[in-house]
């Protein structure tokens, strides 16, 4: 079996970071994986815990979505469900899921948007900080987008070696995915079309959870949030090679 690399972005200790070509390849691959889970497989599968540490890369840097421990299957006509046990990872959970336990295909879309922003910026949504404001990465991205300075989001380890058209599309699509209202978010089929296409994209509305302090805290903390990321994984990421 090939080596599996867990993608970890924002690794300051690793000199060789993922180049833009690889990042766009990863984003595209994750989108295709989700289209399959959501729309092409016999049942609809909602992953519910999409995050960088659940994306594995093979030798060809092809992403594989892993860890289906929290996944839920929906029948063809079911679109959403509700749970009292909110389990997932802060920073990737959509507001309607974190607060009300409602999940749907659109909650995975939200997590996908977070993933894309993390891959483009090389920063994590959770614990993101900027001296000028107290927004998280989503809020920061939206702010720069509204101020027409979106390229400042790009991971600066990339220097100038990225494709501006693709970067702008990725950011625009990601911001559409993390919009507050699930109904405003595109489904994964449309996301893939938008990523690959050239048509003009809609302007995103305000993202959900753009302030770190909007996160629910007490109450969910003990036990119920079973899969909260451990702090070792949470800190600025590591790229690990895991033979298996």
Length of the chain measured in residues = 244
Name the one range near ligand NAG by CB under 6 A: 83-91, 158-166, 203-211, 215-223.
Answer: 158-166
199 touches ligand NAG by CB under 6 A: no
Cβ distance to ligand NAG smaller for residue 20 or 110: 20
Asked if residue 139 lies in contact with residue 206, where contact means CB atoms within 8 angstroms, the answer is no
Sign (positive or negative) of CA dihedral 144, 145, 146, 149:
positive
What is the closest distance, in whole angstroms, from the C-beta atom of residue 34 to ligand NAG in the complex?
20
Any contact of residue 166 with ligand NAG (CB under 6 A)?
Answer: yes
**Catalytic residue (choose from 49, 67, 108, 183):** 49
DSSP assignment letter at 72: E
The answer to whether 40 is a known catalytic residue is: no
Assess contact for 86 and 220: CB atoms under 8 A: yes
d(CA 112, CA 77): 22
One of 163, 197, 202, 211 touching ligand NAG (CB under 6 A): 163
Among 165, 222, 230, 231, binds ligand NAG (CB under 6 A): 165
The rounded distance, in Å, linking the Cα atoms of 105 and 50 is 12
Task: Tell me the closest approach of the beta carbon of residue 198 to ligand NAG, in angstroms.
Answer: 7
Strand partners, 63: 57
Count of residues touching ligand NAG (by CB under 6 A): 3
Is 13 near ligand NAG (CB under 6 A)?
no
Range 160-167 contact pairs with CB under 8 angstroms and sequence separation of 24 or more: 161/19, 161/20, 162/20, 163/20, 163/24, 166/20, 166/24, 167/20, 167/120
Cβ distance to ligand NAG smaller for residue 28 or 67: 28
Residue facing ligand NAG at closest CB distance: 163
Residue ranges in contact with ligand NAG by CB under 6 A: 163, 165-166
Active site residues: 49
């Amino acid at each position: 079996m090939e080596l599996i690399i867990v993608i970890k972005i924002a690794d300051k200790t690793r000199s060789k970071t993922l180049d833009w070509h690889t990042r766009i390849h990863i984003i595209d691959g994750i989108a295709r994986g989700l289209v399959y889970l959501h729309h092409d497989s016999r049942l609809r599968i909602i992953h519910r815990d999409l995050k960088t540490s659940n994306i594995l890369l093979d030798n060809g840097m092809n992403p594989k979505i892993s860890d289906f421990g929290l996944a839920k299957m929906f029948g063809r006509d079911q679109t959403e469900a509700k749970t009292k046990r909110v389990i997932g990872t802060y920073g990737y959970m959509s507001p309607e899921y974190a607060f009300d336990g409602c999940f749907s295909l659109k909650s995975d879309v939200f997590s996908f948007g977070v993933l894309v922003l993390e891959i483009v910026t090389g920063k994590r949504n959770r614990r993101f900080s900027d001296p000028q404001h107290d927004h998280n990465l989503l809020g920061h991205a939206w702010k720069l987008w509204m101020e027409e300075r979106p390229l400042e989001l790009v991971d600066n380890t990339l220097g100038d070696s990225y494709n501006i058209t693709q970067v702008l599309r990725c950011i625009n699509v990601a911001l559409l995915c993390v919009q507050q209202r699930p109904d405003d978010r595109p489904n994964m089929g449309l996301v893939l079309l938008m990523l690959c296409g050239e048509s003009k994209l809609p302007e995103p509305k305000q993202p959900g959870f753009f302030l770190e302090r909007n996160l629910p805290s007490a109450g969910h903390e003990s036990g119920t949030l079973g899969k909260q990321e451990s702090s070792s994984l949470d800190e600025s990421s590591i790229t690990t090679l895991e033979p298996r």
